[in-house]
Chains A and B, each alone.
Chain A
Amino acid sequence: GENVEQHPSTLSVQEGDSAVIKCTYSDSASNYFPWYKQELGKRPQLIIDIRSNVGEKKDQRIAVTLNKTAKHFSLHITETQPEDSAVYFCAAMVGSSNTGKLIFGQGTTLQVKP
């Protein structure tokens, strides 16, 4: 079945450094890739997404890149701040149906040290 692998599971950086989280997916028909941020005890919230007809998308300090040939996509956070500390999830939409189903990665716990 469809699968999304996410690495690393934990990431610790110093404030101001960059952070990169990588995901690979198995369904070659996937065409939508969102990223969610989940703070402790809160709901996941969409922070950025990318569609298969675009290779890169940027929103202030956050960017996502997509390589459809290799079936992987990455989240880049620059100039990290303590408030970026959270769990980040990547997801891929199942492409072979019209159900809108998302398959999620296992999550990355990002810690930004002041």
Chain B
Amino acid sequence: NAGVTQTPKFRVLKTGQSMTLLCAQDMNHEYMYWYRQDPGMGLRLIHYSVGEGTTAKGEVPDGYNVSRLKKQNFLLGLESAAPSQTSVYFCASSYQNTYGYTFGSGTRLTVV
């Protein structure tokens, strides 16, 4: 039981490049979330999913897209990376909508 796994752990992108962050969970959780963490700003919700095939926008969705084709996977895409997207990205999942999250180990992304 690996919990929530994020890949990659580190990445450096050039401005304008694209990439996809993968989040995989093996706990059969319905709910999945992508947050970004920046110094002094806590964790801010980018996009989330309440089940396979569903996605919705969070607080800071601009510049990101997501997909949840399979229940266990939640992908976060950056189509054209910008320096403002330099951050640590955390994926999280939960069993029900009234339970706490299990977080992945994070992806540290730098856009130069």
**Residues of A bordering B, CB below 8 Å:** 1, 4, 6, 9, 31-32, 34, 42-46, 49, 51, 89, 93, 98-107
Binds A, one of B13-21, B42-50, B62-70, B72-80: B42-50
Contact B50 A99 (CB under 8 A): yes
Instruction: Knowing that A42-B105, A43-B90, A99-B56 touch, tell me 17 more A-B residue pairs with CB under 8 angstroms.
Output: A4-B42, A6-B42, A34-B100, A43-B103, A43-B106, A44-B103, A46-B101, A89-B42, A93-B98, A99-B50, A99-B97, A100-B98, A101-B45, A102-B33, A102-B101, A103-B45, A107-B42
- 4 closest Cβ pairs, A-B complex: A100-B97, A104-B42, A43-B103, A104-B43
Contact A100 B94 (CB under 8 A): yes
Residues of chain B with a CB closer than 8 A to A32's CB: 98, 100
Residues of chain B with a CB closer than 8 A to A6's CB: 42
* Bound-complex Cα distance A78 to B45 (A): 31
Interface size counted on chain B using CB atoms at 8 A: 27
Residues of chain B with a CB closer than 8 A to A101's CB: 33, 45, 48, 58
Residues of chain B with a CB closer than 8 A to A4's CB: 42
**Which listed residue, A9, A44, A98, touches B43 by the CB 8 Å rule?**
A44
Q: How far is the CB of B31 from chain A (nearest CB, A)?
A: 5
- Could you tell me the dominant secondary structure of chain B's interface residues? loop
Q: Would you give 21 A-B contacts (Cβ < 8 Å), ordered by A?
A: A1-B59, A32-B98, A34-B100, A44-B90, A45-B103, A46-B101, A46-B102, A89-B43, A98-B50, A99-B56, A100-B33, A100-B94, A100-B97, A101-B58, A102-B45, A102-B101, A103-B45, A105-B42, A106-B40, A106-B42, A107-B42
* Bound-complex Cα distance A49 to B99 (A): 9
Residues of chain A with a CB closer than 8 A to B44's CB: 104
* Bound-complex Cα distance A89 to B92 (A): 15
Contact mask for chain B residues 74-112; partner A; CB cutoff 8 A; 1 contact, 0 none = 000000000000000010001011111111111000000
Residues of chain A with a CB closer than 8 A to B99's CB: 100
